[in-house]
Amino acid sequence: MKQTDIGEKTELVANWQTLQRIFIQPENKAARTALVKYMEQILFGLHDFLKKHVGITRELSLETLSERYKNSKISRNPEKKLADVIKGIIEDIAPHAVNVASPYFIGHMTSAIPFFMVHLQTIVAALNQNPVKLETSKVVSILERQVLAKIHRKIYRMTDEFYDRHIQNPDSTLGSFVNDGTLANLTALWVARNAFFKPKDDFTGVEEQGMAAALQAYGYKRCVVLVSQLGHYSLRKAGGILGIGNANIIPVEVDKNSRMNINKLQDIISNIQNNSSGTKILAIVGIAGATETGTIDPLNKISEICKEHKIHFHADAAWGGPALLSEKYKHLLLGIEKADSVTIDGHKQFYMPMGCGMIYFKNPSIMDAIAYHAAYVIRPGSVDLGIRSLEGSRAAVSLVLGSALEIMGAGGYELLINHGIETAGYFAEEIKKRNLFELVTYPQLNILTYRIFPEDLKIKWQTGSMQEKKDITQQVNQININVQRLQREAGKSFVSRTTLKRTDQADMVVFRSVIMNPMTNIDIICEILDEQEEIYNSQFKI
């Protein structure tokens, strides 16, 4: 626990004296210098590592690594000084973590973040504000409301007068920060459920009396949520938690462009309405940037259908939301302004560190449907943000997003968004030029899927019977699974893989690429494709 006197060889003991020292400001110049040096190590030691270490992760099996971490006892005495802990993390942990900052890492929605995010995140820890209540956050809660209004405005583009009225009005809630997209989607469906099954007559509301009483009071047998088959699995979790049942999160087929098939949606709705099954459609979810394909559902059409049938329209823009900051591409999300609720993740295309989800609502009072009060905090009539929020205590990440918006400007984010979309477009063109590959989903945003599909098999497939087609697809799937694995294990670059369901043919294994690192360019992409071709040619070519 001795923190500040580096250099001296002291025995590590837990005592009251050292405890006091780590809770107060470093008392002398030497101690301050030491602490600054540690921060330098974090900022640059880690950064140097990320620069040198281009591959995804150093080769060392998970079994070997787990052998090192089998001691489950907390030692009675302090084991290490801060300096040694930092050194240990930089030397022993970082090299075996995944270098998500590599421009060759194009497989997931986690990527390099701007350098300043580390500074901002450090401030969040240093101030340690808790926006659950004003008494532990004061101006930080007020700032949070401002940041929420800024993003709300990008989504809904309401009038100046609207924002003047609601931005700092404790009775209005434009949205809420949560830990991630999963909790944002859960909050959206929670609000939709409670707003629909509101108190009437003797029934005091679903939040108080539960689903069985709610269905009975409203004369239904079950409720469902409709989302395209590419819907994120967090919606199914929400179905489970909210008592809707995850089997009642009903997938709607997609069209050939991987967008929700509106005819199929209408069929499902008519079916439900015609057969007096006692089913209530609680919400329809439109995806703005599907996790697997990056595709955007026809939001305008979904909004019209929701309006006609008075159904809650939720837009899951966890991935695609920040494209609203691009003047050039924001039109791709048209219709999102009609959504009753919108999910956006800050730790995806706002390039924030992990732990920032957001949920927005068009109607500033709809979150009253989930309001909770407690006697010692979040008292009725107070401005505590915890009144209408899924989480209790949480980090003040609005400080990070608010500052990042100031540092980057909408223009800075636009550059990142445009780079991703345009590089993904070049990527798609490059795939089309190469005979070994087939482009499976064209990037509407910056995600695309493709696969290896050797020429001879392509030809056989075209003229094959149903059974032959199925067999060829399985053979091709296996090739893609193996190439993806070998590329990952080689550790130079990383593309993920997924399985897309096809209604007209066998399920298809594809490579999935997410272009969000501004350092990923077409040359790097060509190298990654070359590597895949090499692996195929050396191992699987028949």
Alpha carbon distance 363, 207 (integer Å) = 20
- With beta carbons less than 8 A apart as the criterion, state whether 494 and 396 touch: no
SS3 (DSSP) at 461 = helix
Min separation Cβ 182 and ligand PLP, Å: 3
Instruction: Based on the shown chain and the rule CB under 6 A, indicate whether residue 449 belongs to the binding site for ligand PLP.
Output: no
Q: Choose between 232 and 264: whose C-beta lies nearer to ligand PLP.
A: 232
Per CB under 6 A, 322 contacts ligand PLP: no
The reply on whether position 232 binds ligand PLP by CB under 6 A is yes
Among positions 319, 360, 450, 461, the unique one binding ligand PLP when judged by CB under 6 A: 319
Instruction: Determine, following the binding rule CB under 6 A, whether residue 360 of this chain makes contact with ligand PLP.
Output: no
298 binds ligand PLP (CB under 6 A): no
Q: Which helix (H) or strand (E) holds 497?
A: strand 496-500
Distance between first and last Cα of the chain: 62
Q: Are 345 and 184 spatial neighbours (Cβ–Cβ below 8 Å)?
A: yes
291, 109 in Cβ contact below 8 A?
yes
Confirm or reject binding of residue 287 to ligand PLP (CB under 6 A).
yes
Q: Which is nearer to ligand PLP, 479 or 514 (CB)?
A: 514
Q: Which is nearer to ligand PLP, 318 or 370 (CB)?
A: 318
**Interface with ligand PLP, residue 450, by CB under 6 A:** no
Strand partners, 316: 287, 343
Rounded distance between C-alpha atoms, residue 268 and residue 289, angstroms: 23
Residue 60 CA to residue 12 CA, distance in Å, equals 32
Residues in contact with ligand PLP, counted by CB under 6 A, come to a total of 15
Considering the rule CB under 6 A, would residue 190 count as an interface residue with ligand PLP? no
d(CA 331, CA 312): 23
Question: Residue 434 carries which side chain, given as an amino acid letter?
Answer: R
> Quick check: 496 binds ligand PLP (CB under 6 A)?
no
Closest approach of ligand PLP to the CB of residue 313, in Å: 15
Distances in whole angstroms, Cα of residue 187 to Cα of each of 107, 257, 391, 428: 28, 29, 10, 36
Q: Among 318, 336, 397, 440, which residue sits at the site for ligand PLP (rule: CB under 6 A)?
A: 318
Candidates 144, 297, 337, 345; binder of ligand PLP (CB under 6 A) is 345
Which of residues 34 and 287 has its CB atom nearest to ligand PLP in the complex? Answer: 287
Give the x/- contact pattern for ligand PLP in 168-187, rule: CB under 6 A.
------------xxx--x--
Q: List C-alpha distances in Å: 514 to 107, 245, 303, 428.
A: 6, 32, 28, 12
Q: Which is nearer to ligand PLP, 318 or 529 (CB)?
A: 318
Select 485 or 501, whichever has its Cβ closest to ligand PLP. 501
357 binds ligand PLP per the rule CB under 6 A: yes
Asked if 286 interacts with ligand PLP (CB under 6 A), we say no
Contact between 291 and ligand PLP by CB under 6 A: the answer reads yes
Distance CA 148, CA 141 (A): 11
Residues in 384-443 at the binding interface with ligand PLP, rule: CB under 6 A: none
CB under 6 A: which stretch of 123-131, 195-203, 242-250, 312-320 binds ligand PLP?
312-320
Binding string to ligand PLP for residues 87 to 116, with x set by CB under 6 A, is what?
----------------------x-------
Query: How far, in Å, CA of 203 to CA of 127, rounded?
Result: 44
- C-alpha to C-alpha distance for 519 and 415, rounded to whole angstroms: 12
The per-type count for the chain, helices as H runs and strands as E runs, is: 17, 11
**Per rule CB under 6 A, is residue 295 in the interface with ligand PLP?**
no
| Position 282 contacts ligand PLP (CB under 6 A) | no
Q: Residues 330, 366: contact at Cβ < 8 Å?
A: no
Structure tokens that stand for 466 in this block: 């149903």
335 binds ligand PLP (CB under 6 A): no
Per-position DSSP letters for 44-111, written without gaps between them: IIHHHHHHH--SSS-S--HHHHHHHT---PPPSS----HHHHHHHIIIIIGGGS--TT-TTB-SSS--
Contact positions toward ligand PLP, by CB under 6 A?
A: 109, 180-182, 185, 232, 234, 287, 289, 291, 316, 318-319, 345, 357
